[in-house]
Amino acid sequence: MVDQVAQVAQMIVHGEAWTLKDLFVLPNEYVYWSIQIVMYPYMTGLVAGAFVLSSLYHVFGVEKLKAIARFALVFSFALLPVAMMPLMLHLMQPLRGINVLMTPHFTSAISAFGIVFLAYAVIVAAEIWFVYRKFIVESVQRLSAKAGRNAYESLLLLIYKLISLGAMDDSKEAYAADHKAVKLLAAIGIPVACFLHGYAGFIFGSVKANALWMTPLMPVIFICSAVVSGIALCIVSYYVFMEMRKWAAKRGKNFFLPDGIAHGSAAVNYDQLKSVQDHEVKMTSKYLLIFMTLALTLEILDMIFRGYTAVKSWDILRDVLFEHDFVKIFVLQYGIGNILPFLMLLLPGVTVRRAVLASAMVLFGVFMMRWNVVIGGQAFSLTFSGFMEYHLPIIPHNIETFKEGLGGALLVFGTPFVIFYFLNMIFPAFYTDDEGH
């Protein structure tokens, strides 16, 4: 009985651990959608953005982006399973997540997630398969011919044989058909990627009870910022991976060049890597600039429109935007995350380091944008007479504060890099061939 009383006295409801209420807030109101729902559009945005970047080359034939396009495609695939992780970590009943596929209730914006997500996954997987088919065929031939394979190579051979799906045709016509298929898939992929992410925007934009979220611009804003963040992440990761490769190439550290195993040789030319890196990063940052202008314009338009029309909710929104969240929105998101990198990319004589630094700031800016939308949307009460502050749980004291705290967020952010490391062993993302896709 005493135990029961103690348990009741300490009963903390979901959301209470990280919500601080001020003034008049309804009894059931908490920050129910916390860090994982910030991570969800952030990660989906990265997936969509990376894919759009790779499509710039595959569909529109922007030759200059050739090397980074292949990397972006493989990286997008590595990010893909992670887009689902934050949702699973957020659900109160994660084991019932599959219900969304079993009884999708189509009036709900979330219900089609599984279908859209799977459709997109199939397109990306198929595109990678066609891009790498030549490489797969060559690898099978190379590894089969090799006498005295070690265990690693035998495993690779088995994997390549499996994923070749028996399509071993290495005629010129067959490769030409691959080219066509890649172009088609990338072309279909762009609208699907935009849909995948615009749809994440719709999930928020259609919540009529939330004064900050409800705007038809939300999906468009989400798509633009998705492309921005995806390109920025590709620049940063491409730079980091290239630096690692350069470092490893000098010293012959093969475990940092896992694709060397797939290549059949670990020999990587340092000077060649450097020139490729310089060229790709500078080129890509120009595209980043274009999409940034678009994203920024829409976000500012949304804010001006709200201020100008000044409906009932504007009083409380103004308090949130210009007082409570001022630093997060205008300093961190727009200042450090948008305007500063914008100027850095615009000023003449862009160096690789400056472009990468600017991209890292852009990544941070887009993260803050997601934060300010998701958390900012819950910063005020439905009564318009009170506020809620969100305190991110940093040191977890139970499973819930881990899942919906710093630990869970870092887990989500770190996983794609681990997946990429292993994926790179099978589909070498930095592999270049002259007539490849």
Partner 1 sequence: MKRRDFMKNTAMFVAGASVSLSALELIDPQEVLAANPELRWGFLVDTHKCVGCGLCVKACKIENDIPLEANVTRTWVERYVIKKDGEVVMDSPKGALNGYTSKLLDQNKSGMREVADKDIAQAFFVPKLCNHCETPVCVQVCPVGATYQTADGAVLVDRKWCIGCGYCIMGCPYGVRFFHPIEHVADKCTFCYHRISNGGNTACAQACPFGARKIGNLRDPNDPVAKTVMGQRVGVLRDEYGTKPQVFYIGLNKEVH
Contacts with partner 1, residue ranges (CB under 8 A)? 8-9, 11-16, 20-30, 32-33, 87, 90-93, 96-97, 99-100, 102-105, 107-111, 113, 203, 206-210, 381-383, 385-386, 389
Distances in Å between the alpha carbon of 327 and those of 50, 270, 322, 334, 370?
A: 29, 43, 9, 10, 15
Of the candidates 85, 30, 111, the one whose C-alpha atom is nearest the C-alpha of residue 375 is 30
Shortest spacing between CB 367 and partner 1, in angstroms: 21
Q: Are 314 and 307 in contact (CB under 8 A)?
A: yes
Shortest spacing between CB 404 and partner 1, in angstroms: 11
Distances in Å between the alpha carbon of 7 and those of 11, 92, 339?
A: 6, 20, 50
C-alpha–C-alpha distance, residues 48 and 45, integer Å: 5
Shortest spacing between CB 229 and partner 1, in angstroms: 23
Shortest spacing between CB 24 and partner 1, in angstroms: 4
Hey, what are 91's tokens? 């659900």
39 or 74: CB nearest partner 1: 39
Residue carrying the six token digits 């925007």: 201
Shortest spacing between CB 103 and partner 1, in angstroms: 5
164 or 206: CB nearest partner 1: 206
C-alpha–C-alpha distance, residues 310 and 229, integer Å: 31
Residue 228 phi, psi (nearest 5) = -60, -50
11 or 147: CB nearest partner 1: 11
DSSP classification of residue 29: -
C-alpha–C-alpha distance, residues 76 and 74, integer Å: 5
Q: Are 123 and 189 in contact (CB under 8 A)?
A: yes
C-alpha–C-alpha distance, residues 363 and 230, integer Å: 8
Shortest spacing between CB 37 and partner 1, in angstroms: 8
Shortest spacing between CB 102 and partner 1, in angstroms: 8
Shortest spacing between CB 15 and partner 1, in angstroms: 7
Q: Are 384 and 313 in contact (CB under 8 A)?
A: yes
Residues in the chain: 437
C-alpha–C-alpha distance, residues 157 and 309, integer Å: 64
E strand spans, 16-118: 19-23
6 or 168: CB nearest partner 1: 6
93 or 171: CB nearest partner 1: 93
Of the candidates 74, 40, 52, the one whose C-alpha atom is nearest the C-alpha of residue 421 is 74
7 or 150: CB nearest partner 1: 7
2 or 151: CB nearest partner 1: 2
Shortest spacing between CB 100 and partner 1, in angstroms: 5
SS3 letters for 158-221?
A: HHHHHHCCCCCCCCHHHHHHHHHHHHHHHHHHHHHHHHHHHHHHHHHHCCCCCCCCCCCCHHHH
38 burial class (0-12, 13-18, 19+ CB within 10 angstroms)? buried
**DSSP H or E stretch at residue 237:** helix 218-251
101 or 244: CB nearest partner 1: 101
96 or 353: CB nearest partner 1: 96
Hey, what are 383's tokens? 């009564």
9 or 145: CB nearest partner 1: 9
DSSP classification of residue 378: G
Shortest spacing between CB 199 and partner 1, in angstroms: 12
12 or 343: CB nearest partner 1: 12
Shortest spacing between CB 87 and partner 1, in angstroms: 8
